[in-house]
């Protein structure tokens, strides 16, 4: 168990509910691997450019008949197995995605059916790459208040369906996958200590998928104009990502009176190795503290932190009682951080 002492921010607000712990994690990535060498055959790029600018070596691509809900259900089943809960025990499913199977019904409802979680309410949230921490903070409220016993959160993306495979600026960055967690009260455990969420809609244009919504419904022109693919101002996004992730991390650490040295594992959104290094450095974390798997999956958006958390737990990087910092950033702009006692 951790010997760290900290302030419980919940107590300041006369919080009287239960604590909320992550009692199981799971992830799933599709089988097909797209390497940098494969990309060299598709656009004018090189393994050397991609590796030095992003740290990404390969990413996973879902099959044509494999959708976001399929990836999500597989990750969820693994998280449920670790938590020892059955589908019938799930009260609520919160699914974070920017690549839903379709605009409606929600992908969460499709996952509810695939899991056979017949008692569960289900809804999607959209906070782009920040989705997993948003889902965690929302889901924890239901457990803490006692409204629900078992909440399943999932971040799942089929980014390959919205990437413009002719745009070398973006197509090298993203991949498909899903990460899931089961949230429950674990007696005696402190679990989620605090979380912070933020957004800045004035910078919405930095990273967007303009077509397909009410502002730009699908037309022959919108398709020809490639408006149904994501677009990004990489340089500005980079700067904002580092700033927001550092300040969100510092906020949750300060709230709990915890120093970065006391955190066993920092799990940042896996967008780009240079972003991860810059965030780690500014937080004063040593390399061993910062979990990195971006080389194998690229940026899987809402799935990224869930996949990384699963790998960190199963790989023995995180043990019961350790302090874990999750920190995310994405389109919106959105950001967030969560500090947990595992
Ligand atoms: C996208 C990103 C890797 C680009 O790196 P960068 O160092 O900023 O590179 P630049 O934008 O300055 O581009 C440099 C050159 O490389 C070129 N380039 C872009 N993508 C390329 C690729 N895949 N292969 C080869 N050259 C490429 C550009 O066209 C540009 O050429 P030019 O100078 O002739 O115009 C980087 O900005 C980034 O990671 N941004 C954040 C992206 C992100 O994480 N988004 C999600 C947040 S959730």
Residue in 40, 169, 237, 305 to alter for ligand 1 test, most ligand atoms within 8 A of Cβ: 169
Please give the pLDDT value at position 18.
86
pLDDT for residue 11 is more than 60: no
Residue in 34, 35, 39, 53 to alter for ligand 1 test, most ligand atoms within 8 A of Cβ: 53
Please give the pLDDT value at position 4.
66
Say what the pTM is. Answer: 0.95
Residue by residue, DSSP assigns 258-317 as: --GGG-SEEEE--S-HHHHHHHHHHHT--GGGB---HHHH-B-GGGHHHHHHHHHHHTTS
Instruction: Tell me what the mean pLDDT of segment 45-53 comes to.
Output: 98
Q: Give per-residue pLDDT as tens, 184-219.
A: 999 989 999 999 999 999 999 999 999 999 999 999
The rounded distance, in Å, linking the Cα atoms of 240 and 330 is 9
Q: Give per-residue pLDDT as tens, 274-308.
A: 999 999 999 999 999 999 999 999 999 999 999 99
Closest atom of ligand 1 to CA, residue 39? 23
The rounded distance, in Å, linking the Cα atoms of 18 and 290 is 29
13 is catalytic: no
For 297, the token pair is 């999956």
Q: Which residue in 36, 240, 272, 299 is the catalytic one?
A: 299
Q: Give per-residue pLDDT as tens, 220-257.
A: 999 999 999 999 999 999 999 999 999 999 999 999 99
Please give the pLDDT value at position 14.
57
- 273 in contact with ligand 1, CB cutoff 6 A: no
- C-beta contacts of 43-47 below 8 A and 24+ residues apart: 43/165, 43/166, 43/167, 43/168, 43/171, 43/172, 44/168, 45/168, 45/172
pLDDT for residue 16 is more than 90: no
20 is catalytic: no
Query: What's the pLDDT band for 17 if we cut at 50, 70, 90?
Result: confident
- 275 alpha carbon – ligand 1 mean position (Å): 13
- 209 alpha carbon – ligand 1 mean position (Å): 18
Please give the pLDDT value at position 212.
94
Q: Which residues of 55-79 are buried (b: 16+ CB within 10 A; e: fewer)?
A: bbbbbbbbeeebbbbbbbbbbbebb
Tokens 């600026």 belong to: 169
Q: Give per-residue pLDDT as tens, 127-160.
A: 999 999 999 999 999 999 999 999 999 999 999 9
Radius of gyration, CA atoms only, the chain:
19
Whether the Cβ atoms of residue 268 and residue 139 lie closer than 8 Å to each other: no
- From the list 19, 30, 339, the residue with the least C-alpha distance to 175 is 30
Q: How far is CA 223 from the centre of its chain?
A: 29
- 97 in contact with ligand 1, CB cutoff 6 A: no
- H/E element holding 47? helix 47-54
65 is catalytic: no
Query: What's the pLDDT band for 1 if we cut at 50, 70, 90?
Result: very low
Instruction: Tell me what the mean pLDDT of segment 253-282 comes to.
Output: 97
Whether the Cβ atoms of residue 134 and residue 124 lie closer than 8 Å to each other: no
pLDDT for residue 10 is more than 70: no
């Amino acid at each position: 168990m951790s010997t760290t002492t900290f302030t419980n921010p919940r107590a300041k607000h006369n919080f009287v509910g239960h604590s909320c712990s992550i009692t199981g994690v799971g992830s799933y990535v599709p089988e097909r691997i797209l390497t940098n060498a494969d990309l060299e055959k598709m656009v004018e790029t090189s393994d050397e450019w991609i590796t030095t600018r992003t740290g990404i070596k390969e990413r996973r691509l879902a099959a044509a008949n494999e959708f976001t809900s399929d990836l999500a259900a597989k990750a969820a089943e693994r998280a449920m197995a670790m938590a020892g809960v059955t589908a019938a025990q799930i009260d609520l499913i919160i699914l974070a995605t920017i690549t839903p199977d379709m605009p409606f019904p929600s992908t969460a409802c499709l996952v509810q059916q695939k899991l056979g979680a017949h008692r569960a309410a289900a809804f999607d949230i959209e906070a782009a790459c920040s989705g997993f921490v948003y889902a965690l903070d929302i889901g924890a409220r239901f457990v803490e208040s006692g409204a629900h016993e078992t909440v399943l959160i999932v971040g799942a993306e089929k980014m390959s369906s919205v990437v413009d495979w002719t745009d070398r600026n973006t197509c090298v960055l993203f991949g498909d996958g899903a990460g899931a967690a089961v949230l429950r009260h674990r007696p005696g455990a402190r679990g989620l200590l605090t979380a912070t969420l933020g957004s800045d809609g004035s910078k919405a244009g930095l990273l967007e998928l303009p077509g397909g919504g009410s502002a730009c419904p699908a037309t022959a022109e919108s398709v020809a104009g490639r408006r149904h693919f994501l677009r990004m101002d990489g340089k500005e996004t980079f700067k904002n990502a580092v700033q927001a992730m550092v300040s969100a991390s510092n906020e949750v650490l300060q709230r709990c009176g915890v120093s970065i040295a006391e955190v066993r594992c920092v799990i940042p959104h896996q967008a780009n190795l240079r972003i991860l290094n810059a965030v780690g450095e500014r937080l004063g974390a040593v390399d061993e503290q910062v979990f990195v798997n971006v080389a194998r999956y690229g940026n899987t958006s809402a799935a990224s932190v869930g996949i990384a958390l699963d790998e960190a737990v199963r790989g023995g990087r995180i043990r019961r009682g350790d302090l874990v910092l999750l920190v995310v950033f994405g389109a919106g702009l959105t950001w967030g951080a969560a500090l947990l006692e595992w």
